A and B are shown apart, each in its own frame.
Chain A
Amino acid sequence: GAGVSQSPSNKVTEKGKDVELRCDPISGHTALYWYRQRLGQGLEFLIYFQGNSAPDKSGLPSDRFSAERTGESVSTLTIQRTQQEDSAVYLCASSRKLGGASYNSPLHFGNGTRLTVT
């Protein structure tokens, strides 16, 4: 079946511009995550949506970053006034509810959006 879909796959933007990254999770997945991965680095948590609960925004690095999710569908990550240090691969992942434990299933990752700020 279809996996997690992210668009665009690559984005080059000038410093100071705003960008919007999109994530289409797997249908029926209640949880959705955004992570950032800089070149050669690990995954840095950004934001987590779980069903109708308030999102965990504790990983957003500054108020230039925001994300929205409509119900259990598409999510968009917006970066305003981009800076060069925002250059990274932005990964989206989703997971589904398993029985009574809504948070035990593994994450399914998209292929990411490679953002380059010049």
Chain B
Amino acid sequence: ELKVEQNPLFLSMQEGKNYTIYCNYSTTSDRLYWYRQDPGKSLESLFVLLSNGAVKQEGRLMASLDTKARLSTLHITAAVHDLSATYFCAGGVTGTASKLTFGTGTRLQVTL
């Protein structure tokens, strides 16, 4: 069964700084997703990564996937307060139409 671990669980960072959230998974996964959740809200899809070496960027966020290392990263560049939210990664087992397993989430707080 696929297990997904994120770290850190909580991240407090200053505006303007860079940081990376890590998502490790336990078995081969051919699809990796990143979601954002604002307090009291539902989850919003950010990125879909479907192949080794895939890199997607949207604004100050960039996600990448290394299937050999079973690692995905979400890099934040020059953080702004609006990025404060909880970020989840999720993966599915390779070659199956199986359920997505979510990580525990990283709560990001961007301070002035």
Residue total for B at the interface (Cβ-Cβ under 8 A): 24
CB distance from A55 to the nearest CB of B (A): 10
B102 touches A104 (CB 8 A): no
Known contacts A91-B42, A91-B43, A110-B42, A104 near B98 by CB under 8 Å: no
Contact residues, A1-48 vs B (CB, 8 A) = 31, 33, 35, 41-43, 45, 48
Q: In the complex, what distance in Å separates the CA atom of A48 from the CA atom of B44?
A: 19
CB distance from A30 to the nearest CB of B (A): 9
B97 touches A53 (CB 8 A): yes
Residues on B with C-beta less than 8 A from A35 are 102
Contact residues, B21-52 vs A (CB, 8 A) = 30-31, 33, 35, 41-45, 48, 50
When the two chains form the complex, which single residue of A42, A107, A108, A112 contacts B100, counting CB atoms closer than 8 Å?
Answer: A107
Contact residues, A89-118 vs B (CB, 8 A) = 91, 93, 102-112
Give the residue name and chain of the B residue nearest to A105 (CB).
B48
Contact residues, B89-108 vs A (CB, 8 A) = 90, 92, 96-105
Q: Which of A35, A48, A103 has the most CB of B within 10 A?
A: A103
Q: In the complex, what distance in Å separates the CA atom of A106 from the CA atom of B98?
A: 13
CB distance from B21 to the nearest CB of A (A): 14
Residues on A with C-beta less than 8 A from B42 are 91, 109-112
A45 touches B101 (CB 8 A): yes
**A to B CB contacts below 8 Å, 5 in the list:** A33-B100, A42-B104, A48-B99, A59-B99, A91-B43
